[in-house]
Amino acid sequence: MIIFCLINIIWVKYFYNYLYRLKFCICFIKYVYIFFIFRLFFHLCIFYLE
């Protein structure tokens, strides 16, 4: 029972660490996506203005 409890604590710790990394990754991808859309829009604006 004590061993099971320790395994559970370790698993939860790793799982939360993984979730935190995943959240960070999703956030990063989102910002990159927004940045590319913004750049594309900016280039289109310049193209139409010329």
CA distance 25 to 14: 16
Q: Return phi, psi of residue 14, to 5°.
A: -65, -40
Supply the mean pLDDT for the chain. 84
Percentage above 70 pLDDT, the chain: 96
Q: What percent of the chain has pLDDT over 90?
A: 14
Three-state SS letters, 1-50: CHHHHHHHHHHHHHHHHHHHHHHHHHHHHHHHHHHHHHHHHHHHHHHHHC
Across the range 31-45, mean pLDDT stands at 90
- pLDDT for the residue numbered 10: 82
Which residue range is the domain that position 16 belongs to? 1-49
d(CA 28, CA 6): 33
Number of domains in the chain: 1
Asked whether residue 35 carries a pLDDT value surpassing 90, the answer given is yes
